[in-house]
Chain A
């Protein structure tokens, strides 16, 4: 999947992945896609809730070898 910006949130725990993502998204234009990589298992639910609450669409959420990958589209 294409993305415009990437955020490496590996090794960071709640609530940092969400907070850093929010910061990154604020600096992006509407429609752009942010790719986030996280090692926090709690982040799966967090990103789902974040997308629902803020309207930044979660295009894809997947896990690969204990790493979680999220694609968020800036509202």
Chain B
């Protein structure tokens, strides 16, 4: 049975009607979906110093506070951030020419001085790293900024997913006992699909 003229007319009418009402329906459905979906973020954390510990935990906890789904993948030195005791995280002044060096104590005019100690001196003097770390911690505390331990627990309370890179855990000779509870162990192949769907993907 071929296309009779009546069917052709019917088809054309249906096509016209669909053209008229579909765009609006689709637009509406898309807007509804947009409003109801939960934003998500995927972070890859690769560094383990005090200054690099802040970005993943601050972004993670804030996004979670905004109701987002957050996953943080810790790999290489980022694994440092998952250790049970992170009170020993250090700031590395070496290779950080952008780091402001102001003393967090003393009268205001003293606090305002930018010491700008050359890299060579920083690298050469033993104990400088610890000194810089102590000053950084004091500055952070003075400014009412949260400590890393607090930020990390806030993340976990807000159900931010912590994923440790299984491969690097083995590479560095770590085991699950070295890390806090509540961490998943997975590889890149498990994490990439999460990152693919996420609205925001950050590498730090």
Contacts and interface: CB of A to CB of B under 8 A. Distances in A.
Interface of A: 11-16, 18-19, 21-23, 40, 49-50, 53-54
Among the interface residues A14, A15, A54, which one has the most CB atoms of the partner chain B within 10 A?
Answer: A15
A39 to B, nearest CB: 8
Nearest to B140: A13
Main secondary structure of the interface of A (DSSP, over half): helix
A19 B145 contact: no
Contacts of B144: 11-13, 16, 40
Interface in B61-77: 61-62, 65-67
A22 B66 CA distance: 8
B151 to A, nearest CB: 8
A72 to B, nearest CB: 12
Given A19-B154, A23-B157, A50 B65 contact: yes
B143 A19 contact: no
Interface string B145-171: 110000000100110000000000000
Contacts of A16: 144-146
Given A22-B158, A23-B157, A15 B67 contact: no
Contacts of A14: 58, 62, 145
Contacts of B65: 15, 18-19, 21-22, 50, 54
Among the interface residues B58, B61, B62, B143, which one has the most CB atoms of the partner chain A within 10 A?
Answer: B62
